């Protein structure tokens, strides 16, 4: 009995052209869906350039594949591109995710527990059907190569044909394409595999820049305290909490009841915006002396941040982490990842509820007499498993979306679950404040600020990490609050009525974080990195 053998064979140029067709027609379907949502068909001549898009994408990919597909190596590279592109297409289609450098950084920096929350049966089925099966077919296809000269000539002819078709389309529709993509530049982040390849090149360039010399900033920075009290500031870095659902912002629901009960003791900033739409950007940015417009992860990683400068000035710094990591901010300071405690009361499947952070706070506050900055990096309301961010007693808004397939839940279910998570954030902040209230001898302060917001299905957009230039306000408008102890209020000459008014009316951003914390810790205003106009408190100091 003869063995069955897979005998499908194609020339290399035909296989690559077929692959380009698969990418252009199937894997880039989410791109076309987005294009049509921006430019609905009018059934007039204005639509003609839209009809040519699959052809343009095909000829560009075909030419590129004919050039880069080296014999043998392409049997590794192309299947990988197919699987990766299928994964990207799924997230683009169902969550409106744009894949760029920041998104790739998010993927690389996510831990196993965080990444596993994104895996669903639907996702695996999609990946199998549109990724692994086509990739396997590509691998099993026998490639018939010509002699070297003929192989080169055939590929050159395919490239030439692609170029001619591209030029032909450009001759008729250049102005249409130019105008459309000039107004919608971010759409290029939806095109596979170019978005992944471009993001990879950018990340590699960043890694190569890692050899840049490290720059210490503000070497002469020092405190200018006028009292002998111990100053303690707790910085709570929120995760994925948006201002729209924040109870103190006049949301239709009271999602922050405990903070609301504290009345005027809690100062709520209603018009706060983030530096980025992802943790990988926002957290390094807010601790950097660079503002959002000039921020670069590479540059920030090669110079001192806020915590480095404060530590060198003699202030005790500690970073408690209940997130994936500190995104490089804590590499020179004492750091503890509380998830490694693996306390059954708080932890499950590699992730922990934020209250696990509270188990370490007392010891840190009481372990030194030095002025202290304690950073609590929370997991907050990180999705898509919002239902895992709170305990049963905070499941007050029902029905909930108890799955990671959030696009299958109703809008109300999703919002209910997200709001329950904010209830848990509220009690966490309240408990931190209570711990400081118990230490009446301290001049203490709490700042809570979220790293970025979140989309909950508005206009078909979910999660976060959209390119900042097109990011919906749900992803950039974030909550921030401040609280000060009675001893701090009595000692520091700050007009809190003025501060409350400015918090209510004026717009602030992560750009203000650096100098505000700098001033809060009584650092000298002569410091090189301190900017008086970016210190929120200074505007209301009584002089």
Evaluate whether residue 225 is within a structural domain: no
The tally of domains found in the chain comes to: 2
Q: Which of 190, 207, 224 is the last residue of a domain?
A: 207
What pLDDT, in 10s, does the model give residues 180-204?
A: 887 787 888 899 999 999 888 888 8
Evaluate whether residue 224 is within a structural domain: no
Q: Mark whether 181 and 254 lie in a shared domain.
A: no
The secondary element (H helix, E strand) that includes residue 233 is strand 231-238
* Distance separating alpha carbons of residues 19 and 28, to the nearest angstrom: 12
Residue 118 pLDDT grade (very low, low, confident, very high; cuts 50, 70, 90)? confident
The secondary element (H helix, E strand) that includes residue 316 is strand 316-321
**Averaging pLDDT over each range in 55-64, 69-78, 147-156, 220-229, which range is the top one?**
55-64
Question: In the chain, count of helices (H) and strands (E)?
Answer: 21, 14
What pLDDT, in 10s, does the model give residues 483-539?
A: 999 999 999 889 999 999 999 999 999 999 999 999 999 998 889 999 999 999 998
Q: Which of 174, 191, 207 is the last residue of a domain?
A: 207
Q: Mark whether 243 and 182 lie in a shared domain.
A: no
Q: Mark whether 326 and 362 lie in a shared domain.
A: yes
Q: Mark whether 184 and 237 lie in a shared domain.
A: no
Q: Mark whether 197 and 306 lie in a shared domain.
A: no
Report the pLDDT averaged over residues 279-291.
96
Q: Mark whether 193 and 238 lie in a shared domain.
A: no
Evaluate whether residue 215 is within a structural domain: no
Evaluate whether residue 1 is within a structural domain: no
Evaluate whether residue 93 is within a structural domain: yes
Evaluate whether residue 217 is within a structural domain: no
Predicted local distance difference test score (pLDDT) of residue 469? 87
* Distance separating alpha carbons of residues 94 and 123, to the nearest angstrom: 10
Predicted local distance difference test score (pLDDT) of residue 1? 44
Residue with tokens 């609301």: 260
The secondary element (H helix, E strand) that includes residue 509 is strand 508-509
Residue 7 pLDDT grade (very low, low, confident, very high; cuts 50, 70, 90)? low
> Mind spelling out the 3-state secondary structure of 437-449?
HCCCCCEEEEEEE
* Residue burial 83-104, b: 16+ Cβ < 10 Å; e: rest: bbbbbbbbbbbbbbbbbbbbbb
CATH number at 482 reads: 3.40.720.10
Torsion of CA 380, 360, 306, 517, to 10 degrees: 80
Q: Which of 141, 172, 207 is the last residue of a domain?
A: 207
Q: Mark whether 365 and 432 lie in a shared domain.
A: yes
Which DSSP symbol is given to 4? P
Q: Mark whether 172 and 255 lie in a shared domain.
A: no
* Distance separating alpha carbons of residues 242 and 273, to the nearest angstrom: 10
Q: Mark whether 299 and 237 lie in a shared domain.
A: yes
Evaluate whether residue 178 is within a structural domain: yes
Query: Global pTM?
Result: 0.82
Sign of CA dihedral 109, 113, 117, 122: positive
Which DSSP symbol is given to 270? E
What is the domain range of residue 82?
9-207
Is pLDDT at 331 greater than 70 in this prediction? yes
CA distances to 15, 27, 88, 191 from 37, rounded to whole Å, are: 32, 18, 19, 16
Q: Mark whether 499 and 391 lie in a shared domain.
A: yes
CA distances to 198, 329, 444 from 287, rounded to whole Å, are: 28, 7, 20
Q: Mark whether 508 and 395 lie in a shared domain.
A: yes
Evaluate whether residue 23 is within a structural domain: yes
542 closest CA partner among 513, 483, 503, 499: 499
Q: Mark whether 186 and 261 lie in a shared domain.
A: no
């Amino acid at each position: 009995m003869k063995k069955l053998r897979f005998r499908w064979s194609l020339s290399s140029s035909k296989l690559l052209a077929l692959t380009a067709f698969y990418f252009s027609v199937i894997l880039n379907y989410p791109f076309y869906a987005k294009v049509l949502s921006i430019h609905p068909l009018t059934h007039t001549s204005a639509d003609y350039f839209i009809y040519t898009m699959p052809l343009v994408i095909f000829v560009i990919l075909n030419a590129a594949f004919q050039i880069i597909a080296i014999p043998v190596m392409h049997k590794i590279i192309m299947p990988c591109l197919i699987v990766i592109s299928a994964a990207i297409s799924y997230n683009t289609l169902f969550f409106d995710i744009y894949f760029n450098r920041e998104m790739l950084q998010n993927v690389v920096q996510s831990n196993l527990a965080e990444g596993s929350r994104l895996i669903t049966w639907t996702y695996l089925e999609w990946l199998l059907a549109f990724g692994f099966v086509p990739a396997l077919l590509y691998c099993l296809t026998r490639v018939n190569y010509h002699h070297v000269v003929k192989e080169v000539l055939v590929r050159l002819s395919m490239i030439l044909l692609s170029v001619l078709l591209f030029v032909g389309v450009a001759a008729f529709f250049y102005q249409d394409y130019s105008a459309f993509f000039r107004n919608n530049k971010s759409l290029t982040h939806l095109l596979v595999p170019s978005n992944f390849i471009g993001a990879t090149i950018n990340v590699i360039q960043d890694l190569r820049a890692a050899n840049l010399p490290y720059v210490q900033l503000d070497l002469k920075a020092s405190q200018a305290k006028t009292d002998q009290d111990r100053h303690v500031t707790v910085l709570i870095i929120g995760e994925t909490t948006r201002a729209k659902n924040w109870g103190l912002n006049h949301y239709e629901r009271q999602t922050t009841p405990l903070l609301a009960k504290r009345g005027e003791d809690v100062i709520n900033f209603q018009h706060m915006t983030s530096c980025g739409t992802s943790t990988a950007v926002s957290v390094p940015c807010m601790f950097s002396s660079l503002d959002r417009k000039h921020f670069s992860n590479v540059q920030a990683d090669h110079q001192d941040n806020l915590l480095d400068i404060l530590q060198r000035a003699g202030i005790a710094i500690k970073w408690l982490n209940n997130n994936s990591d500190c995104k490089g901010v804590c590499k020179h300071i004492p750091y503890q990842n509380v998830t490694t405690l693996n306390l059954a009361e708080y932890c499950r499947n590699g992730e922990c509820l934020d209250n696990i952070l509270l188990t370490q706070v007392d010891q840190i506050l009481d372990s030194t007499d030095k002025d202290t900055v304690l950073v609590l990096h929370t997991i907050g309301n990180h999705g898509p498993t919002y239902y895992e961010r709170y305990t049963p007693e905070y499941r007050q808004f029902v029905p909930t979306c108890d799955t990671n397939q959030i696009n299958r839940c109703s809008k109300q279910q999703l919002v209910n679950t997200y709001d329950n998570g904010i209830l848990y954030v509220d009690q966490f902040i309240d408990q931190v404040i209570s711990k400081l209230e118990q230490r009446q001898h301290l001049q203490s302060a709490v700042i809570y600020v979220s790293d970025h917001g979140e989309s909950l299905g508005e206009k078909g957009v979910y999660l976060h990490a959209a390119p900042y230039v097109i990011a919906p306000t749900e992803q950039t408008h974030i909550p921030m609050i401040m609280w000060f102890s009675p001893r701090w209020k009595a000692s520091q000459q700050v007009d809190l009525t003025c501060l409350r008014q400015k918090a209510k009316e004026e717009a602030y951003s992560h750009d203000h974080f650096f100098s505000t914390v700098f001033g809060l810790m009584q650092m000298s205003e002569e410091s090189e990195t301190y900017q008086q106009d970016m210190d929120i408190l200074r505007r209301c100091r009584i002089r």
